[in-house]
Every structure is written in structure tokens, then in C-alpha cells.
Structure 1
Amino acid sequence: FYYYLFIIIFILFFILLFLFILLFIIYYTEAPLAQATAHPTQKDTRAEASEKKDPMQVTLPPKARDRTVASDGAETLSLSSQDPRTIKGKQDQKKEPTAARTEPPKPQGKAQATARTPVPKSQAEALTMPGAGSRGRTVKGVTTVVVPPRETVRATPPSTPFWNRTTERKLSLQATNFKSEPQWDFEEQYSFDTRALQSSCPDSVKVKASKSPWLQKLFLANLTLFLDSDHFNQSEWERLEHFAPPFGFMELNHSLVQKVVKHFPPVPQQQLLLAALPPGSSQCITCAVVGNGGILNNSHMGQEIDSHNYVFRLSGAITKGYEQDVGTRTSFYGFTAFSITQSLLALGGRGFRHVPLGKDVRYLHFLEGTRDYEWLEALLLNQTLVKSLLWFRRRPQEAFRESLRMDRYLLMHPDLMRYIKNRFLRSKTLDTKHWRIYRPTTGALLLLTALQLCDQVSAYGFITEGHETLWKRLHDEGIIRLYQRPVISKPKM
């Protein structure tokens, strides 16, 4: 009996084994077919999704749907206030891959080696500035030109390769891969507006810069200033992904950035203040940039500030009760998502309960990082922030009341931010393991943006430690007019 039972069990075992092998062969034979037929289905699904109405377009005020142009400001952050995701896991490299084999990521696109060597000096000298016969890559009137770089410090290459040959897929660039700010051979490659208007003011900042032995090597007159749907595409994403925010798109969510930026139509003219002048006008555009430094207390500069064609303010720009010292007018308001929420919370009791309002006010948003794009998403949807800036339990649209018009909301281009950082506000922090947390102050960004837009710039309330030398040098060379508290001489005894 046991002998026959054993035989039966043995036969059943081989039958089950045969069935298992058969199923295994069928599964792996049909798997490629299933994957091949899945693509058209996914394509159809994407097509159906694209036909659905974008929820961002139904919650904006009527005026806000006409055009969308945005910009935001950046702030100097301490190590403790930085998003922990950007500072944890810093590792020193023990083994450095060769530059020839390092290939940076292009998450959505084609393979291309980008860990390149610096541009040779002879080659860099052969490149020219825009407007002087320079050649570049032109896309929809925007030319990308490589300009001679300043002295650069090469960061240690990443400890892990960007290309994973085992899985045959590219990995995204991560800030934690670098022990200092990475330097690419296209570090000084920026987007330029080939249609930019030229000022006819004989005393313009641009004219003075061209005559200054120091500034002419730094100043780029026709730089693209604003980020919009016309300045965002796959090739721009891949180029700017090499630079950490606010100077690029490294570690940002591509879908979120694309979803937000596509709602901001092209800015017709980057030199928007010149575009506002009558044709053939030789008027000099005067601008006052007002910082929040206490140096303006009892200055009685209010009337002088308001006498300019345009007035730039930033962050917690309180004017009520201080009109004699700081003026009353606001033409441009610069901010970051962090600076505006902090100002509303900290200074609400002193009268700053909303941003400067008025039909003529333009908003300059310096995009600092992920939280700024999440702020914009909530603004477009008219929803409360749920992912970042959790202390601000309000809808971003509340800060703008009923006067928000998206055609007057301008997003500052990462190339502008990187240009300012590379050429005017280079910090030693960028050469350390804490490179990722460096941010120029909102005031510094706003003042240097005014130099790109205005003919004559006067700065008030700027006593920012670390940038005083820069402001003083610009003042001494006659590029800007810097208000400085009068020195009161002590009476002789």
C-alpha cells in the first residue's frame, strides 16, 4: 500500500512541476506583448486627460485669466531654517569618477554628456556679448549666449555616476552628490532677449556700465528677466536642472514646475519700462528702490522717493505712519513665498496685513525653491497651502485682496538669479559643504533687478551687511545713487 502511495505522490509532484514550468514559460513569453500593447492605451489615457479642463483656470478671478506673468523674491536663510531635505546626507567623495565618463541626468529626455570640462580660455575670449555680433542658439527670439566666465572653483564631482548602466536609466542630479557648488562649462550661459529695446537715455545705467572698466565685464544688458510659458521647455529644463534653486531647477518636481509655469503667458517685452515710453522718447526712466533698513528713520526722504517714475519695495514694506521717511507710492513689490508669509505674520500688528495694492502695482516673485511653486499652485487654485509654509494657514490670494491681476504678476527667471549670484554676490559659502543653503537677500535681488529695468536708480534703506561694499562701489562710480545718512560732525570742545 505504501509503495503505491509513494508512486502516486511522486507522479503528482512531477505533474505540478511541469505545470509550474509551463506557466512560467507562458508568462515570460507574453509579457513583452502585454507591454507593447500597453503604450497605446496609456497614450489614449493621456490624450483624454489633456482634454479635461485645467482646474487652475476656473478658480482665478476673471482678470487673472487673461494673462499670467509671475515673479518672486529670495531671502538669505540660516542652516536651521533650510528645508532639511536639501542639507541632510552630505557625503564627502572618496573616489572621484573621471569627467569623461560622468554623464548628468536628463530625466525626461535624451542622453547627453554634461559633466564637461571648463571652456578653454582661448575659446572663451572668442565669444562676444549679445548685440555685438555674437552668435547663439535662438528659440522664439531668445538667444542663449555663452559669455567668458569669471574665475570659477570646480566642485568635487559626484560620488555616484549619473548613468546607471545596469538599469539603463538616468538618475536625477542631487545636491547631496556635491561637497561644494558644482561648476559646469556652461555656468555662464544665459538666455537673452534678442528683441530687447535699447534705451536712448544718454545717462542710462547701461551706458555707464559700458564705460566702466569694472562693470562692463559683469553687466549683461539684454538678459532674459522673466520666466513664462515661452521660456520653459524640455531643453531649458535639462540645462537649468544642473543648477540648484533659486539659480536653476535641480531637485524640483518637473510636473509641478510645468503645471505652474504654463499658466504664465509670454512677457511681450523684457524691457517693459522702456516699452511703456512713447516711440522715439529719450526720457530717462528713474527708479527708487526702497529697502527696509532703519537708516530711513527720520530721513524725510519720502517726497524724494515718490518723485521717481517707479518705486520698488520688498517684503514687509510698511508705509503707513512712515510716509515722510519712505514715501507712499509702490510700482513694484518684490518677495519670495517665505518672505511674504513671514512679513504678514510678523508685521501684521504693525499694519502690514496685505501686499501693496493698486492697479499699477507689479509683483516680482523671486522663485526660491519648491515652496514657491507650491505657493503658486495654491494661488492659481485659490486654495490654502497644504504642503509647505504650514504656519500660513491662509489662501495666498488673500494677501492680494481683490486687486490681483496675473498679467502683473512676474516670475523672475533662474538665469537672472544665477547671473546676480555669479557676478555680483558670490559667497564663500558656495565653496563649502553648505553651498546649497546660500540665498542672496530679497533686497539685493530687487536692487540688481532694477539695474536691468531702469535708466537711473536710487537706493534707499540699504545697509545690508556683506553687500555694503558693492552698493558703495556702484555709488562711487555713479552707477546708482545710494542714500547714506548724513554725517553729523561733533562740535569742537
Structure 2
Amino acid sequence: MALLTSRITAWLFVISVAVVLLIISWGYLSESISRTAVSGKFRYRGEGSLFEYWNIIRNSTSPPPVFTTSHKPKNADATKTVSVTKLKPDRIAATTSAPVVETPMPILSKNSFKGLPQWDFEEVYNQDAPPRQTTCAQSLRKSEDPSFKKAFLPNIRLYLHKDNFNMSEWNRLSHFNNPFGFMGFKYDEVIPAVKLIPKPKEPLLLPKPGSGGCVRCAVVGTGGILNGSKKGKEIDSHDYVFRMNGAIIKGYEEDVGNKTSVYVHTAHSITMSQYLLKKYGYTSIPNDEGIKHVLIPEGMRDFFWLEGLLKGERVTASPFHNKRPRTYYGGQYNETRFYVLHQDFLRYVRNSFLKSRNLNATFWAIVRPTNGAFTVFLALHTCDVVDLYGFMTEDYNKYSNYYVEKTKTHVVFFANHDYMLEKNLWSKLHKSKIVKLYQRTDAEAQTEKPKQH
């Protein structure tokens, strides 16, 4: 009898342990399935089943990647990337064999946050293969400036295209507000455009013959400092010239040059320039033969624009409904010369160089670097020598807001940009010899007046 009682007790103990383990396992496994937003943070809780989890793991060797505020992922996406050991491991995306998450995460609302949310993977960025090895002795990549070397990521992924995007990427980038991610966007509205974006067939820029391996670039802003500067020939002497937004050239060639190699824009800037600048003689964006176009995916309207552009059709939604995007590119649109900046690149520019204190304000979600700032950093990642023209200097009050304005005006500051932060950065990069910033001498500022056109 004692032996029987002992055996029953042993079996009851084994069964009890098994039940406890099953309960623990059930909770763990079911927690690994679904996600819910809790107080602005993401955690996992049980809404799935053991059967669903088994279907996921039986076809893979590792669990699906998850992005939470308590776990910093080692990889930013599940597509193949090239690892570069020089870069800081906490700021780059490494290769992984993890399967792709199959469904979009719940949509996050910007209104849920009183300031810029900080995720553990905030500074985890995709990387591309190492850029060309420059032989240029003056290349900014050889700078020994400690702060620049620490912040600059030469391999940051520059472009978004259909081959480097998947559901895991969508879920990761959905934690960031636009233009740094897809927070608040609907997957079914964005993905039709993304699936059309072609992978670039060539680098944005290559060294010119006889250049000694150096790619020399001018980035031309729209500041009034250029009015009467007579810098046109100097600007055009560069291998490549970047322009953005309402780049009016006709009538101002002596001051701003005539050449454009790369034009950076948003759907808003390329359309509204025709209306806002018509009185200054603006008719279209620069249309140099072979010009390359770079789009900043600023908001949802840019993805509707992209879909219409890449299909060669009218825009079906957004403020640009029924417009034909291809008519805005001066007859020079070519899919092989069209690039879309990656959200990681845009976020890196903000986080590493232009993180405004306004990101802690209630209007944080609209705060971002200017199109001009993004253009400068695109040049810094594709050129060896970068000269800036028409950007804010310490004496900006001496000049009009825009170089085409006939009379002296005041510089306009909009809440979504931190102009002073950008001004200070251009000055810092100039002093560190990373870029050369055009600045007027006192004599020029006193004798030159805005041109009358």
C-alpha cells in the first residue's frame, strides 16, 4: 500500500510539473505571436495559438524578428546586406537568416507621443556594399575631424527600391514618423509604389576623366546671398551641380550658374514651384540632358506621386489627384536616372547631424531637416569635394530670403525646420574643411544690391 501511494504521489508530481511547464510554454509561445501598442511601446501578448506558432517555426531555423522597446535588433532587415566591420555594430544592419514577418504591425499614431519616441533600434541603419575606393587626395572621406568621423557613415543605405524592402522592413520603419519611416501610413497604400521603384543600375555620380579620381560637386541653395555674387562660372566649373526645389536659373546664370546634374525634390516642391514662383519667370525644373532626379519621400502624397510617375499614369489620390507626374520633369524623366532616398538615410542625417531640440515639442512630428540639408548630405556621400552656395551664413540678415527677389526681404523661418541648427552645422563643416561654404565679404555685402529683373 505504501509503495502504491508512493508511486501515485510520484506520478502526480510528474503530471503537476508537466502542467506547469505546459502553462509556461503556452504563455511564452503565444506571447511570441501578436503585438499590441501599449503606452507608446511595443510588447508581445497572447492572441495567437500554439498551432500558429508551430507553423512559423517548423519552416525556419530561427524565430521571426521582433522589434520592441526592450530589445535592440541586430539587423534592420531580413534581406541580404554586406557587413562592414569598420562601422559601429550598434549603428549598422548585419546579415541574418531570420524569416520575414508576414503581416503589418498595428498602425502607430503620431498623436500617441508628446515628443519624438526613442526606440532601442533608433540608430540601427541598413548599409550597402562599400562605396568606391577613392583615390582623391582631397576627399572628405579622409577627414581626421573627430566629430565628423564619429558621425559619418559612408555605407549608409542611400536609396529605397523594391529589392531591399520586405515586411520586416515595413514593421521596423513603421516606428518612425515621415519622412523617416511609415508611422501612421497604411501598408496597402504605400506598397504599390514601393514595389515599382527600380533598383539603381549605377552610382549617382562617377569620377570624370582626368579628375584624378576626385568627384567635385557644387550644391546650390536658393538663398539671397547669391544675388549679385557672380559665382555662376565657378559653380558650373564643378564636375556635378546639385539643385533643389524652385531652382530658377534663367536670368540668374551669372550668379547661380547654368548646369544641373542632380535635382532633389518632393512631390510638393516640384508641383508648387510652378505656382509660387511663376511671377519670377519659373516654368519648370532644370532639364539638362541626362539629369538625375532624386525624390525625398516626404509623406503619403509622395508615394501616390511615385505610383503615377513610375506607371506613367495620372495620380489617383492625394492633393495631386489626376496630375500627370511625368509632365513635371522637363522631358528628362528616365527610370534609370531616378532615385528615391531611403528612410534610414534621412533618419541618420537627422539623428547624427541635425537633431533639433524642437523634437521634444508638441509639434515634433513635423520637424525635419530642409530639402537643402538632405541634398548636402547626399552630396557628402557621393562626392569627394563639396562646395556649398546659397546656404545660410552668420550674416544671413543682410540678404533676401530668395536670390530671385527683386527687393530686400527677410529670411522666412518655418516651424518644421531648424534653420539656426543647419546654419551652425554649415559653419562647423566649413571650419573643419569638410565643405567649403560660400560667404560674402563685407565689401561685397555693402556694394552689391539685389538685381532688378
- Structure-2-length-normalised TM-score: 0.71
- Residues 222-258 of structure 1 show CA distances to partners (whole Å, capped at 9, x for unaligned) of 1110111111111211211111110012222323322
Distance in 2 (CA, whole Å) between partners of 1:340 and 1:98 is 35
| 1:364 aligned residue | 294
Q: CA deviation at 1:262?
A: 2.0
Instruction: Tell me if 1:172 matches 2:111.
Output: no
Question: Which deviates the most, 109-118 or 350-359?
Answer: 109-118
Instruction: Look up the match of 2:432.
Output: 477
SS for the counterpart of 1:190 is coil
Which residue in 2 is equivalent to 1:114? 67
**Change in 2 beyond 3 A, CA 1:185/1:316:** same
1:324 Cα shift?
A: 0.5
For residues 126-275 of structure 1, the aligned pairs below 5 Å read 139-143=79-83, 147-148=89-90, 171-208=106-143, 211-269=144-202, 271-274=203-206
The CA deviation at 1:197 is 1.7
Secondary structure of 1:445's aligned partner? helix
Report the equivalent of 2:100: none
Q: C-alpha offsets along residues 317-366 of structure 1, whole Å, 9 cap, x if unaligned?
A: 01100010000000001111111122111112323222211332101111
1:315 and 2:255 are equivalent in the alignment: no
Distance 2:330 2:301 in 1: 21
CA distance in 2, matches of 1:477, 1:384: 47
User: Are 1:449 and 2:384 matched, yes or no?
Assistant: no
1:347–1:284 Cα change, 3 Å: same
- Secondary structure of the 2:205 match is helix
2:219 alignment partner, SS class: strand
For 1:167-186, what per-residue CA distance to the aligned partner results, in whole angstroms no more than 9, with x for missing partners? xx963222222221111111
Q: Distance in 2 between matches of 1:395 and 1:289?
A: 28
The percentage of aligned residue pairs carrying the same residue is: 40
Pairing 1:461–2:414 present: no
* Residue 402 (structure 1) aligned to one of 290, 308, 331: 331
Assess, with a 3 A threshold, how the Cα gap between structure 1 residues 142 and 374 changes in structure 2: closer, same or farther: farther
- Unmatched runs of 5 consecutive residues or more in structure 2: 1-36, 48-55, 57-62, 92-103, 394-418, 448-453
Alpha-carbon distance in 2 for matches of 1:196, 1:142: 11
Measured on the aligned residues, the alpha-carbon RMSD in Å equals: 3.3
State whether residues 118 and 184 of structure 1, in contact with CA within 8 Å, keep that contact through their aligned partners in structure 2. no
Q: 1:393 to 1:256 in 2, by over 3 A?
A: closer
Q: 1:482 offset after TM fit, Å?
A: 0.3
- CA contact under 8 A between 1:288 and 1:308: conserved in structure 2? yes
Cα offset, 1:432, TM superposition: 2.2
User: What is the CA–CA distance in structure 2 between the aligned matches of 1:484 and 1:142, rounded to whole Å?
Assistant: 40
* C-alpha distance in 2 between matches for 1:212 and 1:480: 12
The change in CA–CA distance for 1:401 and 1:298 in structure 2 (over 3 A counts) is closer
Cα deviation per residue 1:295-316 (whole Å; 9 max; x = unaligned)? 0011010000000000001111
Q: Give the C-alpha shift of residue 393 in structure 1.
A: 6.6
Question: Gaps (5+ residues) in structure 1?
Answer: 1-94, 128-134, 150-168
Q: How many residues align?
A: 356
Asked whether the equivalents of residues 219 and 242 of structure 2 are also in contact (C-alpha less than 8 Å), the reply is: yes
1:349 and 1:316 mapped to 2: Cα distance?
A: 12
How is 1:90-109 mapped onto 2 (pairs within 5 angstroms)? 101=43
Distance 1:376 1:346, change over 3 A: same
Larger-Rg structure: 1
- Cross-structure match for 2:349: 420
Q: Secondary structure at the match of 1:192?
A: coil
Distance in 1, matches of 2:76 and 2:323, equals: 45
The structure showing larger relative contact order (alpha-carbon pairs under 8 Å, at least 6 residues apart) is 1
